[in-house]
């Protein structure tokens, strides 16, 4: 599998508007877009930096994965995403290597990416996503 670079870092926040201020006002970065991903029960603010981005994640519902993350651990880094050239190949290779996956098949993520999560038990507690953008 070819891992190209860190695609994004997902940060769970209570409020996109409040959290975004650090990135825009203190760091001088720009929020490129805000998108609601209904399936993930989340609103996402994209803050690009070179070929990676920070994604601020705000839950839209109390039972969403981001709301549960914040309830358990507080606001903070929720996942790390690596961009791969071919997500089907990457998933097949990980499976063949015995790596436990949350998603055996890619699903749609924010920004039109196809994404899949690896089980955090395999990654020292870090929720790792692989994603492909065409
Ligand atoms: Zn992500």
Q: Each residue of 6-59: pLDDT tens digit?
A: 999 999 999 999 999 999 999 999 999 999 999 889 999 999 999 999 999 999
CA of 10 to the centre of ligand 1 (A): 6
Mean pLDDT of the chain: 95
What distance in Å separates the CA atoms of residue 44 and residue 34, rounded to the nearest whole number? 5
CA of 129 to the centre of ligand 1 (A): 6
CA of 63 to the centre of ligand 1 (A): 18
β-pairing, 52-59 vs 3-13, is: parallel
What distance in Å separates the CA atoms of residue 102 and residue 3, rounded to the nearest whole number? 19
CA of 80 to the centre of ligand 1 (A): 7
Residue 33's CB is within 10 A of a number of other CB atoms, namely 13
Domain count within the chain: 1
> Residue 52's pLDDT is what?
96
Whether the full predicted model's pTM is greater than 0.85, yes or no, is yes
User: What is the domain-level CATH number for residue 14?
Assistant: 3.10.180.10
CA of 125 to the centre of ligand 1 (A): 16
CA of 13 to the centre of ligand 1 (A): 14
CA of 56 to the centre of ligand 1 (A): 10
Which structural domain, as residue segments, surrounds residue 50? Answer: 3-132
Question: What is the DSSP code (8-state) at residue 95?
Answer: H
CA of 128 to the centre of ligand 1 (A): 9
CA of 8 to the centre of ligand 1 (A): 6
134 pLDDT band (50/70/90 cuts)? confident
């Amino acid at each position: 599998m070819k891992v190209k670079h860190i695609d994004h870092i997902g940060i769970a926040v209570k409020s996109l508007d409040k959290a975004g201020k650090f990135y825009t006002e203190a760091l001088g970065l720009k929020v490129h877009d805000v998108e609601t991903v209904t399936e993930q029960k989340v609103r996402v603010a994209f803050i690009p930096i070179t070929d990676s981005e920070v994604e601020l994640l705000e839950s839209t519902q109390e039972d969403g994965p981001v709301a549960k993350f914040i309830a358990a651990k507080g606001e903070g880094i929720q996942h790390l995403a690596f961009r791969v050239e071919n997500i089907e190949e990457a998933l097949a290779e990980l499976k063949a290597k015995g790596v436990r996956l949350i998603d055996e098949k890619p699903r749609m993520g924010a920004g039109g990416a196809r994404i899949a999560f690896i089980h955090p038990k395999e990654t020292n507690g870090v929720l790792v996503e692989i994603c492909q953008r065409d």
